[in-house]
Amino acid sequence: MAKVELKGLKKYFGHVKAVDGIDLEIKDGEFLALLGPSGSGKTTLMRLFAGLERPSEGSILIDGGNVNDLPPRERGIAMVFQSYALYPHKTVFKNIAFPLTIEGLNKEDIKKKVEWAAGLLHIGHLLERMPSQISGGEKQRVAIARALVRTPKVLLMDEPLSNLDAKVRHMAREELKLFQRDIGVTTIYVTHDQAEAMGLGDRIAVMNDGRIRQIGAPEEIYNEPADAFVAGFVGIPPMNFIEQDNIIIGFRAEAFLPAELIKEKEVMSFRFRIERVENLGAYRLVYGRIGKNKIISNLSARLVLKEGVEHALCVRMEDVGAFGMGKGTKINR
Ligand code: ATP
């Protein structure tokens, strides 16, 4: 386990600013989710942590020591990537044991460590199989077990679940969180799937254009987005925005309430023209417009809603955020 710090970290590829000045402290044992759209610099940041890229500027510290000049193997970091890269001709046991075999560890210790990691990930019964004889979800666990046998100080994962189908992915997420808590390894997890980031991260760092736009607990990022980018990127469906004079106001799809049900005076009232209703079982996503602005609301399946008709809806003022026009920074009211 270890504390990881980034100080003024930059990585430029020619004129491309892949990582453009990041200061960050990741606590010992923390699960940090790095969330951002394609091209925001997530993978480059991971490669910098791992020592696969050299910073253009700034430093990376693990437990207070600068690791800029340390080669990957000496950083105490293990990585799991989207492609599990298992050796097809080695058994699961030999795949997991591989990093230890290279280190020249004796057979007895290798066996103990492989069995420990396999037990943690519930794959003890698969050790004699070949990779072609196990499922995608099991391969992913083998890859994680292989990353853990060297008892890394820091575990880096770059979209490790993206090859799995939705259901397995959900289960794998659950397991990942549990074993990470169990062993308390500091984990940095890259994803562009915000449900994954929200579900897994103790904190989420939202990246865009090589910078961290906001870092905080999942509920903080969701409820108190620092700017319009974070507000629009985090949340399914994304936050609704309406331009008003010199500001943008934003509110979440679930903030809408039918006007007749609201007793408070501190509300914003809207005429919402419904264009389409999508029934998702537990709730309905209702697409429409307020003035010219496209809006999505999440309304109870009990309400009577008619397409093509204007409905009176309200949003409580406490659920409304205001953002500046330029950089979209949050305006405190
Ligand atoms: P994705 O989610 O698509 O994997 P990402 O957030 O991981 O994206 P990066 O792969 O870190 O983004 O890329 C950040 C920026 O740096 C992009 O504009 C990318 O084109 C650029 N980039 C990354 N690696 C290199 C390289 N070796 N040479 C030049 N530009 C690069």
Atom of ligand 1 nearest to the CA of 36: 6
Q: Looking up tokens 């865009």, which residue turns up?
A: 208
Query: How many angstroms from the chain centroid is the CA of residue 59?
Result: 23
**What is the pLDDT at residue 333?**
58
What Cα–Cα distance (Å) separates residue 109 from each residue in 4, 100, 103, 141, 152? 29, 9, 12, 21, 16
**What is the pLDDT at residue 57?**
97
Segment 202-205 long-range contacts (CB within 8 Å, at least 24 positions apart): 202/30, 202/31, 202/32, 203/30, 203/31, 203/32, 203/33, 204/32, 204/33, 204/34, 204/35, 204/234, 205/24, 205/32, 205/33, 205/34, 205/35
Q: Which two tokens stand for residue 168?
A: 């397995």
Q: How far is the CA of 11 from the centre of ligand 1 (A)?
A: 10
Q: Is the CB of 13 under 6 A from ligand 1?
A: yes
**What is the pLDDT at residue 168?**
76
Best CA proximity match to 189, nearest among 146, 157, 214: 157
280, burial (CB in 10 Å: exposed 0-12, middle 13-18, buried 19+): exposed
Cα(211)–Cα(275) distance, integer angstroms: 37
Beta strands in the chain (DSSP E): 4-13, 16-26, 31-35, 57-62, 65-66, 77-80, 154-158, 186-191, 203-208, 211-216, 240-244, 247-251, 256-258, 267-279, 284-290, 293-299, 310-316, 321-324, 330-331
Query: How many angstroms from the chain centroid is the CA of residue 23?
Result: 18
Atom of ligand 1 nearest to the CA of 44: 11
Q: What is the residue-level pLDDT of the chain in tens, covering all 333 positions?
A: 699 999 999 999 999 999 999 999 999 999 999 999 999 999 999 999 999 999 999 999 999 999 999 998 889 999 888 777 899 999 999 999 999 999 899 999 999 999 998 988 889 999 999 999 998 888 888 998 998 898 899 999 998 887 777 777 787 788 888 888 888 899 999 998 888 999 999 999 999 999 999 999 999 999 899 999 999 899 888 899 998 888 999 999 999 888 777 777 788 888 999 999 998 887 889 999 999 899 999 987 777 778 888 888 889 988 999 998 776 777 765
Atom of ligand 1 nearest to the CA of 207: 6
In a 3-state reduction of DSSP, which class is residue 90?
Answer: coil
**What is the pLDDT at residue 259?**
77
Q: How far is the CA of 195 from the centre of ligand 1 (A)?
A: 22
Beta strands in 201-304 (DSSP E): 203-208, 211-216, 240-244, 247-251, 256-258, 267-279, 284-290, 293-299
CB atoms within 10 A of CB 48: 24
In a 3-state reduction of DSSP, which class is residue 224?
Answer: coil
**What is the pLDDT at residue 55?**
97
| CA max distance for the chain | 74
Probe target for ligand 1 pocket from 12, 17, 43, with the most ligand atoms within 8 Å of CB: 43
Looking at ligand 1, which residue's alpha carbon is closest to its atom 30?
13
**What is the pLDDT at residue 33?**
96
**What is the pLDDT at residue 300?**
79
Decide if 213 contacts 21 (C-beta within 8 A).
Answer: no
**What is the pLDDT at residue 141?**
87
Best CA proximity match to 214, nearest among 40, 13, 66, 60: 40
Decide if 150 contacts 99 (C-beta within 8 A).
Answer: yes
Q: Is the CB of 213 under 6 A from ligand 1?
A: no
**What is the pLDDT at residue 4?**
96
**What is the pLDDT at residue 258?**
80
